[in-house]
Chain A
C-alpha cells in the first residue's frame, strides 16, 4: 500500500486536470524524477510501472486485450477525448511527429494506443475518424479504444494514473511509454517536445 501511494504521489504531480489544463515540464509543480539510467528525456517513473492488463473495444468493435496485443512492443498509452479543443489533438500531433522522425524498423514497432475518457460521445467510428487526422502517413495506425465508463475507469486504475472525472474532460495528461520489457520507466506530459519522445523510443525498445 505504501508503494502504491508513493506511485500515486509521483503520478499525481505530473498529471494534470482537464484536457485543456495541461502542464509543461518547466512548471515548478512538475518535477522530473531522476531515472536510474539518467538517459531519458521524458519524466522518469520510479518505481517503473508494469504494462497494465485491461480489455476494451477497438474502433472496429473487436475486443482489444491491451497486455496481449502490445506485449514486448514499445507502446505509448494515452487517455483523452476527441472533443478536447487543444491538448489532446496537440499531443497526438506531437506523437505522430516523433514517429515520423523515427527510422524504420522501430517506427513500425511502436504501438500508440489512445483510450477515450468520454465513451458516451467517442464511439469507435468517431475515434477512428479523429485518429486518422494524425497518422495518415504512418505505417502503423494508432489504436483507439473505448468501452463502458467502468471499464475505462478500471483501465486508468490499472495504468496507475488518476481516473478521469467530469465526463472524461478532466483527465491525466500523461503519456506512458512502455518498453520491450513491459515496464514504463518514462512518461510525457503535453508540452513535451516531440524530440524527447523520439530520443527515448530507441532506449525503451532496447529495454533500457
Chain B
C-alpha cells in the first residue's frame, strides 16, 4: 500500500497498446464478477431512479388526466409501439399501463400473432448467466403508472412469422391477472422514429 505508483499516469501521446495486451486472467475474472455484481446494483437502483417509477405516480393524489389508450377494468394501456426490428427473428414491444384502481395487478403473459413466441420481460436485468432470458411479469401497483421502455423492459416477440415494417399494425393480446385480457393494435415505427409519448429510448 506504500507504493507511490497509484496515481494514474497520463496516457502518452502516440503510445501504442502492446500486442496481445497482456491482460492477466485474474483481470478477466474480476471484470466478469464485477459485471455480474453490478446487475444487482442496477436492479436495485432502478426502482428509485426510474422516471416511470410507480412510487412517483402513486404519490400523486390528484385525479389522473385522461389519456388516449385502451381500457380494461381499471387499467388503461397507452403509447404502445413496436420498433421495426433490425433482426429478422426478434422484436420488442413497449407500452405504458395506468392503474386507476385501488388494487394492484400484473401483466403475466401476452400473445402476438406476428410472433411464434411472445413473453413479458418486465425486468430486463433479470437475465442470469447460463439461463435463457427469463420472463418476468410487469407489476402494476394500485393508482400507478408503469412503462416498458428500452433497457428497462419489453414484450419480446421471437420467431417472427413475417417481416415487420414501419407502418404495419400488429395485434397484441395482453393478459392481466385481474383486469383480464385486452387486444391492442400496435403500430410498428421506424428504427429512427421517436417513441410515442416522448418516452426515452
Segment at the interface with B among A1-9, A56-64, A103-111, A198-206: A1-9
Residues of A within 8 A of B68 (CB): none
For the complex, give the distance between the alpha carbons of A130 and B37 in Å: 31
Chain A residues with CB below 8 A from B151, complex form: 20-24, 86-87, 90, 173, 190-191
B109-160, CB < 8 A from A: 121, 124-131, 133, 150-151, 154, 156-157
A53 to B21, CA, bound (A): 7
Distance from A129 Cβ to chain B, minimum over Cβ atoms (Å): 8
Chain A: interface secondary structure? loop
A170: interface (CB < 8 Å): yes
* Residues of the A chain whose Cβ atoms lie less than 8 Å from the Cβ of B10: 36, 47-48
Known contacts A13-B38, A20-B125, A29-B41, A157 near B150 by CB under 8 Å: no
* Residue B49 interfacial (CB < 8 Å): yes
Chain B interface size band reads 35 or more
Q: Which of B59-90 contact A (CB under 8 A)?
A: 83-90
Q: For the complex formed, measure the closest distance between the CB of A103 and the CB atoms of chain B, giving whole angstroms.
A: 19
Q: Does A85 touch B at the CB level, under 8 Å?
A: yes
What residues of chain B lie closer than 8 Å to A26, measured between beta carbons?
49
CB pair B124 A22 closer than 8 Å: yes
Chain A nearest CB from B49 CB (Å) reads 5
Q: Which residues of B contact A (CB under 8 A)?
A: 3, 5-6, 8-11, 13-21, 23-24, 26-28, 30-32, 34-39, 41-42, 44-46, 48-49, 83-92, 121, 124-131, 133, 150-151, 154, 156-157, 191-192, 200-201
